[in-house]
Amino acid sequence: MHRQDIGPRMFGNRLGYNRAVAVERPERWLVLAGHESRGPDGTIVHAGDLRGQIETTFDRLSETLSLAGFTLADVVQLRYFAVDVGEVTRHYDAITERLERENCRPATVLAGVTALSDPAMLIEIEGLAVR
């Protein structure tokens, strides 16, 4: 498989996102449903704490990826759904730091929504990984 990052957008010295990611001849795709900041008992953790929810949501994404034999480095697209886009942009460093640490360079979108499936959820993340 060959991957080409197209139109990278930098935030300071960190990659914020790619405008596109071209992938030639992937062998396997993994479509990631929306993930959220849920604990083992299924309840939302870090209620009212967006940064905590971002970190836990990425932990849950990593767990799912691992179960399928992927890592965050295999992710080519992420979609963020948030009830307060302004708050996400204020904490975007939590996202860029995690992506940089995991060598994840996806194309992304950040969309504002009026509500998510649980009133305690502040953000939901879904994506696409390829190998």
What DSSP letter does each residue of the chain carry, written as one string?
-EEEEEEEEEETTEEEEEEEEEEES-S-EEEEEEE--B-TTSPBSSTT-HHHHHHHHHHHHHHHHHHTT--GGGEEEEEEEES-HHHHHHTHHHHHHHHHHTT---EEEEEE-S--SSTT--EEEEEEEE-
Name the residue range of residue 10's domain.
2-130
Q: Could you give the number of structural domains in the chain?
A: 1
pTM to 2 decimals?
Answer: 0.93
Per residue in 37-96, pLDDT (tens digit) is 999 999 999 999 999 999 999 999 999 999 999 999 999 999 999 999 999 999 999 999
What CATH number is given to the structural domain containing 47? 3.30.1330.40
